[in-house]
Amino acid sequence: MKAPLLEARDLRVVRSGDAGPLKVLDGASLTLERGEVVDISGPSGSGKTTFVRALALMLPDVAGELFLEGRPAAEVGARVWRSRVALLPQKPVIFPGTVRENLLVPWRLKVRHDTTPPGEDELRAKLDSFGLDDVALDRDAAKLSVGQAARVAMARIGLTRPDVLLLDEPDASLDESAAAMVASLTVRFAETGAVVRVRHHRPDGVATRRERLVAGRLHGVGDSD
């Protein structure tokens, strides 16, 4: 049997809370196949961000096992793992420089030294697909609006062609039409990869599966919206 694209087994995270140790994740498990878009909801403070950060190997002190196409995380290596299981943090990050420079940040990193950075046409097309037709590549990225910045950050991570996209509240700083555009791009991404979204808005018809994080574990909500 073919191994799933991403598998998280029994993740556990303990943090020191105001009233002693707090089990933020207490045996959270998830199996993810290509083509899936999984939405994770849950009360605030239930550990949704902690969970997606753990999936991206972006948290110290996580107990449990993670596999990418059957290979354990330690074997894949943290940096290669992160380049394939890409986390988009909730707060969009824009680096000093132009929009072009922002989109090319991933290729300044050693982990992608043997890959070719996207050309001018690809950058332009990517921005257009996010509805940023009016944003020039030479624009000082500091002058983008919050909604534009969020989409540039998404475009940047999309250009790296990860296998799994982890989106922490992708709609948080988007208006309705931008959110709809991002939703349809999410569907298109899932044709070849898989997506996990932290979301507590009402269902937008994109998720193929919905999970709820309660008491440190995931509970299936239904097979689709």
Partner 1 sequence: MTETAGVVAITLPQLLLAAGFMVFVGVISLRLALGLERDLAIATVRTYVQLFILGLVLRWVFGIDSPWLVLGLLLLMVGAAAQTIVKRAPDAPKGLFGSSFVSMALTGFIVTFAVTGLVVQVDPWYRAQYVIPIAGMVLGNSMTGIALALERTFADLDAREGELLALVALGATPWEAAGPSVRTALRAALIPTINSMAAAGIVFIPGMMTGQILAGADPLAAAGYQIVVMLMVAAATALGSVLAVMLTYHKRFSADGVFIEKGLREDAR
Q: Which stretch binds partner 1 (CB under 8 A): 4-12, 108-116, 176-184, 192-200?
A: 108-116
Chain centre to alpha carbon of residue 14: 23
Q: According to the binding rule CB under 8 A, does residue 83 interact with partner 1?
A: yes
Amino acid at 17: G
Number of chain residues interacting with partner 1 (CB under 8 A): 30
- 63 vs 93 by CB, closer to partner 1: 93
Q: How far apart are CA 100 and CA 176, in angstroms?
A: 26
Any alpha helices (H) in the chain, and if so which ranges?
Answer: 48-55, 73-76, 78-84, 99-104, 120-129, 146-159, 176-189
- 53 vs 209 by CB, closer to partner 1: 53
**197 - beta bridge partners?**
39, 167
> Of 14, 23, 26, 59, which one interacts with partner 1 (CB under 8 A)?
59
Q: Which stretch binds partner 1 (CB under 8 A): 139-147, 149-157, 176-184, 200-208?
A: 149-157
Sign of CA dihedral 177, 183, 184, 186: positive
Q: Smallest distance, Å, CB 176 to partner 1?
A: 26
Q: What is the CA radius of gyration of the chain?
A: 18
Binding mask 2-41 toward partner 1 (x if CB under 8 A, else -) reads --------------x-------------------------
Q: According to the binding rule CB under 8 A, does residue 111 interact with partner 1?
A: yes
Task: Give the C-alpha distances (Å, rounded to integers) separating 133 from 17, 35, 74, 76.
Answer: 46, 28, 41, 37
Contact, 99 vs 137, CB < 8 A? Answer: yes
Q: According to the binding rule CB under 8 A, does residue 149 interact with partner 1?
A: no
Q: Smallest distance, Å, CB 82 to partner 1?
A: 5
**Which residues of the shown chain bind partner 1 in the complex (CB under 8 A)?**
16, 56-61, 78-80, 82-83, 86-89, 91, 93, 95, 105-106, 108-112, 153, 156-157, 160
